Structure 1
Amino acid sequence: MGRMKFWTVGLPFLVTLGVGAYGLHFFQENRYIYSNVKKTSKRAVFLKEDVKSQGIEVIPQKSLPEIYQVYRETTDFDNWENVRGPRPFEDNSEYLDQKQKREIEREKLRERVKSLPNKSKAVNVAAAAVAQGGGQGGQKASVDEALVQQIAALGFDRSAAERALFHTGNTSADAAVSWLLDHPNDDGEWESADDSEQDSSDYAEMLAQASAGYKMVFAVNTALKMGLGKTAAQVGHATLGLYRALLDKGDAGSAALSAWDCAGETKIVVKADSDDQLIQLQHSARELGIPSYLVRDAGRTQIAAGSITVLSVFGPAAEVDKITGQLKLV
């Protein structure tokens, strides 16, 4: 009798109790989830309104592929305006104050340079060394001592003055001071003529290379229709890859990079129509003995893995123009 009562009364009661407990737990769990979703939705609405109030367009909710497709179809990658500077709602007063102070200091230094006696003896060291056949008796090329004294009188130490004259071709105190102002953190090692083991012919060759003019050109594969950020990243890869390749060439690569630095580090970005054209351009560079670097993307964003994005080429301007001179600017 007792067993029969358990099956008819006790078991149904336990089942009802278990189902009720599970149902209550399920209800509470869904209520908690819904509450969080509701809070998130409210926050999203508030965020959209705040962004709109700042003048930023809010794109309707879409998947990332849909957003990217719309961006590719509506963006003119050939004719875009590069807007520099802060947006209307950004405060850059601190930057402007610092910039004004730097300009005032530079102007004071330039006025002091102008007040110095004009020394017509400043010579082109490269031309002098070449005319003398690279120096006689193993004499080393040196900077103009009078110019060093003029720069030192402005408060710069001797090492900085010699380094500045070296990088500006020993032309004038004004040019050297301008170089120091433009390179305040350049503490790179440089040996004066008294300590250097490099003879005047090497020095003259470096300055002669600088006067010839070097440049680095980046040919971008426009067939991929990469976004601006993606293009900038790929050009950065091309720059770093080619720079490392030049350093691997030893003294010759370092001398070419120094000449490029003296000439203002000219960098130009041009358009290429396809990956086949980039491969052909690299082949032409190899035939002329011009250093180059071809970037193949890893395929993490926007484009397929292995896509050829950018070719970077570096060398004397005349030689580089033989390879990329026919391409249009980006």
Structure 2
Amino acid sequence: MESIVDIYNTLATRHYSVLHVFSAGTFGVFVGLTVQRWWQGRRQKAPAPLSPSLASPRSYQDDSESDTDEDSDSLRAHKMVLVVRTDLGMGKGKIAAQCCHAAVAAVQTAQYKAPDVLRKWEKYGAAKVALKCSSEKELLHLHALARKAGLVAEYIEDAGRTQIPEGSRTVLAIGPAPIQAVDTVTGHLKLL
């Protein structure tokens, strides 16, 4: 039985066209495997997120961790408040869903109106506080005050598919913003 080297030598000396085909085939397989590995590596990488600050996992810092910035207290002193109407008689699940809608709307607005404030708020825990108000009139008044103060303020109008009438304004999100600025608008409200 002949070894592979003997077969190769025989082909090399007597059959030049077979040698060329064999060499070209080997080279083609090598190139194909290389391209396949490169392509699979590209496909496994995650696509670039639309908003890097929202797409990547966050590691929140608590108050016990040190910060070398001179204004570390002002960086951490940001919050969002969610003002919930209590006169509608919403159930706990409905309130939770409406608060989520309001928080998402406020963050989306802050992405283009106050990106630096949003980044600071996210970096230090994204504090949210649920407060209560007793009427739509009060909710709209708070919305107007917040907007006048230059704060992000978004309220949610319910679609009316479950517990409450269509178009009911259920929750107002104010912020993210510095705590002092938010408290000038909502400091008198009680916790939910």
Q: TM-score normalised to the size of structure 2? A: 0.62
The answer to whether structure 1 residue 310 and structure 2 residue 175 are counterparts is no
CA distance in 1, matches of 2:110, 2:138: 23
Q: Tell me what 1:227 maps to.
A: 91
Q: Tell me what 1:214 maps to.
A: 78
Aligned AA for 1:281?
A: L
Q: Tell me what 2:53 maps to.
A: none
Q: Tell me what 2:103 maps to.
A: 239
Residue by residue, what CA displacement relative to the aligned partner does 1:98-156 show, whole Å, maximum 9, x if unpaired?
xxxxxxxxxxxxxxxxxxxxxxxxxxxxxxxxxxxxxxxxxxxxxxxxxxxxxxxxxxx
CA distance in 2, matches of 1:244, 1:304: 26
Q: How many residues align?
A: 131
Q: Tell me what 1:324 maps to.
A: 186
Say which structure, 1 or 2, has more relative contact order (CA 8 Å, 6+ apart).
2
Question: Which secondary structure does the structure 2 equivalent of 1:217 belong to?
Answer: strand
Residue by residue, what CA displacement relative to the aligned partner does 1:226-283 show, whole Å, maximum 9, x if unpaired?
001100000000011001001122xxx2221221123322110011100110000001
Q: Which has the larger radius of gyration?
A: 1
Where does structure 1 lack aligned partners over 5 or more consecutive residues?
1-166, 169-173, 177-203
Given that 1:269 and 1:329 are in contact with CA atoms closer than 8 Å, whether structure 2 keeps it comes out as: yes
After superposition, residues 74-85 of structure 1 pair within 5 angstroms as none
Residue by residue, what CA displacement relative to the aligned partner does 1:275-320 show, whole Å, maximum 9, x if unpaired?
1100000010011111110110010111000001000001110110
CA distance in 2, matches of 1:287, 1:246: 16
Q: Which has the higher strand share?
A: 2
| Aligned partner of 2:152 among 276, 286, 291 | 291
User: Aligned-pair RMSD on alpha carbons?
Assistant: 2.7
Question: Which secondary structure does the structure 1 equivalent of 2:109 belong to?
Answer: helix
Q: Which has the higher helix share?
A: 1
Q: Tell me what 1:262 maps to.
A: 123
